[in-house]
Amino acid sequence: MALTRRGKVVTVGVVLALLGLAPLAVANVYLRSVGVWGSSDPGKKVAIEIPEGASTSAIGKLLADAGVIKSTTGWRIALFFEDGAEDIKAGRYEIATGLTAGDALAALLDSGPTGPKFVNVTFREGLWLEDFARALGDNTHISAQAFMKVLDQRKVSSELVPEDAPSLEGALFPSTYQIVEDDTARSVAQRLIDEMESKVASIDMSAAEELNLTPYDILIVASMIEAETRVDEERPMVARVIYNRLREGMTLGIDATVLYALGERKDTLTESELAIDSPYNTRLVAGLPPTPIGAPGAASLQAAAQPAQGPWLYYVLADCEGNHAFSESYDEFLNNKAAYQQLSC
């Protein structure tokens, strides 16, 4: 049978008494030093943000780092005696520094979070604008329709996207964001755009400039890299294949651009689909597609701006884990393709 709080205190007290007064005194000093016993000395209030799903140990670290409690050790000991830690809600708290662990727990439970509530929404790499909108519509108070309207009507702006670009595809940075009750479709869209601008600004663009690439070109190339490989080490190599093909006047032959033209996500394409009449069909149309074909992440942006050095013109899947084989000649490409087709993936 589980002990009540009172039972736990009595049990510990009895054990300490049995061990003698000296150990009791030592224990008393120790528990005071880690902030379990003693009196609180409330100081200035600080703001802490408890994320959704945070563990009690993670909450203790937040409190200790902010100076609310003396230590995470004291927090853990206090939770042995005190009940209710599992009822702490996610959100923003204004709480005094200099509290004992028990008083800090009571303050969190008594006050509850202040300010607007929030929800974490994760946007994965490679998403289309419609996917961003759907994620917001499914998880927040912002409807997918309202979000798409903001984007389609250009009620937000991006320094990376030319005014005559057909859409803001690729301009939103994929990551996890906290969406609060006060957020609007416009505020969220601009935040995601600003984050993409910040990420691009942090990248060394010297190699891209030598290739006469604009920041928007980098977005387009990075979006294709994002669609072509999930292996970080390969991303700069895929970038080099793209640039080598552009230099040679070859079509890029990236099927992910055809999927984007079709508005579908699937593993195989029919001959008729591969022949679709679209400026996004890089099997038929030379050069870069008109816009990015999804939201590139940081690794793909870095690879697009700083490609690997190499003569490769082709790549094909090489194993069942998603790694690719890169080659300079078409014959070598065909051999690599045949080797992959022998696998039972």
Q: How many domains does the chain have?
A: 3
Q: Which is it for the CA torsion 198, 199, 200, 205, positive or negative?
A: positive
Residue-wise pLDDT tens digits, 81-93:
787 788 888 888 8
Look up residue 37 and give its two tokens.
């016993």
What is the rounded average pLDDT of the residues 100-119? 82
- Reported as a single tens digit per residue, the pLDDT across 186-197 is 999 999 999 999
**Total number of residues shown for the chain:** 345
Q: How confident is the model at residue 119 (pLDDT cuts 50, 70, 90)?
A: confident
pLDDT at 182: 87
Which long-range CB contacts under 8 A does 14-17 form with residues at least 24 apart? none
- Alpha carbons 219 and 293: distance in angstroms, whole number: 9
Q: Is 220 or 96 the better-scoring residue by pLDDT?
A: 220
Q: Are residues 133 and 86 in the same domain?
A: no
179 lies in the same domain as 135: yes
Residue (of 117, 73, 125, 71) closest to 92 by Cα position:
117
Shared domain for 14 and 90, answered yes or no, is yes
Average pLDDT over residues 14-29: 49
Same domain, 239 and 277: yes
pLDDT at 39: 63
- Between 290 and 78, the more confident residue is 290
Asked if residue 274 is part of any domain, the answer here is yes
> Is the same domain home to 170 and 234?
no
Give this prediction's pTM.
0.70
Q: Domain limits at 257?
A: 204-310
Q: Is residue 340 part of a domain?
A: no
Residue 3 has pLDDT above 80, yes or no: no
Mean pLDDT of 197-213: 93
The token pair at 332 is: 């070598």
Q: Residues with Cβ < 8 Å from 212, sequence gap 6 or more?
A: none
Query: Mean pLDDT throughout 162-167?
Result: 94
Residue 7 has pLDDT above 50, yes or no: no
End-of-domain residue from the set 295, 310, 325: 310
Whether residue 105 has pLDDT greater than 50:
yes
CA–CA distance from 222 to each of 124, 133, 165, 326 (Å)? 14, 21, 17, 18
Mean pLDDT of 144-171: 96
Q: Is residue 291 part of a domain?
A: yes
Last residue of a domain, one of 184, 200, 216: 200
Inter-CA distances, 85 with 119, 161, 233, 271, Å: 21, 48, 43, 60
Residues 192 and 212 in one domain: no
Listed in sequence order, the residues at least 6 apart from 279 whose beta carbon sits closer than 8 Å to its beta carbon are 285, 289, 290
Let me know if residue 239 belongs to a domain: yes
Give yes or no: residues 24 and 101 share one domain. Answer: yes
Residue 80: its pLDDT value, please? 81
SS3 155: coil
Of 26, 46, 24, 34, nearest in space to 75 by CA? 34
Residue 335 lies in a domain: no
Name 95's bridge partners: 46
Q: Which of 200, 221, 238 is the last residue of a domain?
A: 200
Do 76 and 92 lie in a common domain? yes
| φ and ψ at residue 215, rounded to 5 degrees | -55, -35
pLDDT bin (cut points 50, 70, 90) of residue 15 is very low
* 210 shares a domain with 196: no
Whether 115 contacts 99, CB under 8 Å: no
Q: For residues 232 and 329, is the Cβ–Cβ distance under 8 A? A: no
**Same domain, yes or no: 194 and 232:** no
At 5, the pLDDT band (50, 70, 90 cuts) reads very low
User: Who has greater pLDDT, 152 or 103?
Assistant: 152
Task: Give SS3 for 179.
Answer: strand
How confident is residue 33, by pLDDT bands cut at 50, 70 and 90? low
Q: Is residue 305 one of the residues assigned to a domain?
A: yes
Task: List all residues 6 or more positions away from 168 whose beta carbon is below 8 Å from its beta carbon.
Answer: 129, 151, 154, 156, 158, 161, 193
